[in-house]
Amino acid sequence: MMPEDETLRPTQVRVDLAALTHNLALLRAHAGGRPVMAVVKANAYGHGLVEVARHYESCGVDSFGVALLEEGLTLREAGITRPILVFGGIPAVQMPELLRHGLELTAPSVAKLEQIDAAAAATGLRARVHLKIDTGMGRIGVQYFNAETLLEASLRCRHVEVAGVYSHFANADAADLGHARLQLERFLEALTFYERRGLPCPTRHIANSAALLQLPESHLDLVRPGIVLYGVTPGPECPLALPLRPALTWRSRVVYFKVLPAGHPVGYGSAWCSDRPERLVTVPCGYGDGYPRALSNCAEVLIGGRRCPIAGKICMDQFMAALGEGSAYNGDEVVLVGCQDGECIRVEELAERAGTIAYEILTSINARVPRVYA
């Protein structure tokens, strides 16, 4: 949707497409021009799956990464033609659908690889798979010390093309990169399988957002940026060393203004009260939109370029903010995430105040918050 559509709900997420373009170019250059798999799972980290993927396809991104069959199908139905890798473990019943839409599958075990091979044979299609090696994450993938069993099995499959082999870091966003380097060492050791047999190695990839920033030796043949594409740091110990730009602004508008007398409680549980008369506004956004209830009485929003504290518990559909000595009128802009008149609230700040991570804040902004693109 275009930003000039004033019929939309006043609580909106605005996505800066120029920031997305800028971030991709910076990350691609930082990776030495290597192919980029743009990770757009979880509604493109809250930014809008289809719109972000269409934009990045127009920017020449090499491929996409998603978590689920449904995300991949949504992209294909939207006309996305670039390769799409589904990261998650795939139930056998979904395999024919994945193959019919030309989606690339993750094979994390010999049994799963054989299921994929059988599904491809039954449908008369050739499956493109990425073999998954667990080097220390403990999630899915053949254990690195048993990786040869999966790599060997892939050579016996007659209806499978191995498009890649990959792993995933558990601690690449840490200040101490010792475990990440150990994972990389395990991954590269497992891949000597191909050299020992005189075979070409499939595309190797392990570098997520944090490793792309902090561990250049992990860039290998392809990089998989996720949250950094959107201008957000992977974690507090992994600063953004590049001038990336946040693409998302979350804003709303004042819908009610009131002056409360001293001692008048505010909100559920009467959890906020002032010992002096207070000027407050009501904002039509709440935890039903994904604005965390954990931010009650501890976060701030921007109104008129000033930081105004949340007053009381965040409701499902609304919250209140105290203006202090400031003023506001119905219809005035309220910024939850983003910048206003030179003052900024980053999503990382909200995550810290809510006791969570930026990923959760972004991916929790739900579908009833309209996205607009400019």
- Say if 240 falls within a structural domain: no
Query: What per-residue confidence (pLDDT) applies to 5?
Result: 61
Select which of 41, 112, 132, 313 is catalytic.
Answer: 41
pLDDT tens digits, 88-116:
988 999 999 999 999 999 999 999 999 99
**Is there a single domain that holds both residue 70 and residue 211?**
yes
Q: Which residue has the tokens 């919250």?
A: 319
Residue that finishes a domain, picked among 202, 230, 258: 230
Please state, in angstroms and rounded to a whole number, the distance separating the CA atoms of residues 82 and 38: 11
Q: What are phi and psi of 281, to 5 degrees?
A: -125, 155
Of 359, 369, 277, 241, the residue nearest 317 (C-alpha) = 369
State the CATH number of the domain containing residue 296.
2.40.37.10
pTM: 0.95
Please state, in angstroms and rounded to a whole number, the distance separating the CA atoms of residues 184 and 190: 10
- Say if 243 falls within a structural domain: no
Residue that finishes a domain, picked among 199, 230, 261: 230
Query: What per-residue confidence (pLDDT) applies to 1?
Result: 55
- Say if 5 falls within a structural domain: no
**Is there a single domain that holds both residue 77 and residue 107?**
yes
Query: What per-residue confidence (pLDDT) applies to 8?
Result: 83
Which domain range does residue 88 map to? 17-230
**Is there a single domain that holds both residue 170 and residue 253?**
no
- Verify whether residue 41 is a known catalytic residue: yes
- Tell me the mean pLDDT per 10 residues along the chain, length 374: 69 98 98 98 98 98 98 98 96 96 98 97 97 97 98 98 98 97 98 97 98 98 98 93 96 96 94 93 98 97 97 98 93 98 97 97 97 96
| Count of CA atoms in the C-beta half-sphere (13 A) of 291 | 32
Q: Are 287 and 369 in contact (CB under 8 A)?
A: no
State the CATH number of the domain containing residue 98.
3.20.20.10
- Verify whether residue 268 is a known catalytic residue: yes
Query: What per-residue confidence (pLDDT) applies to 325?
Result: 86
Select which of 256, 258, 268, 329 is catalytic.
Answer: 268
Residue type at 108 in one-letter notation: P
Neighbours of 91 (CB within 10 A): 10
Please state, in angstroms and rounded to a whole number, the distance separating the CA atoms of residues 210 and 215: 8
Please give the tally of structural domains in the chain. 2
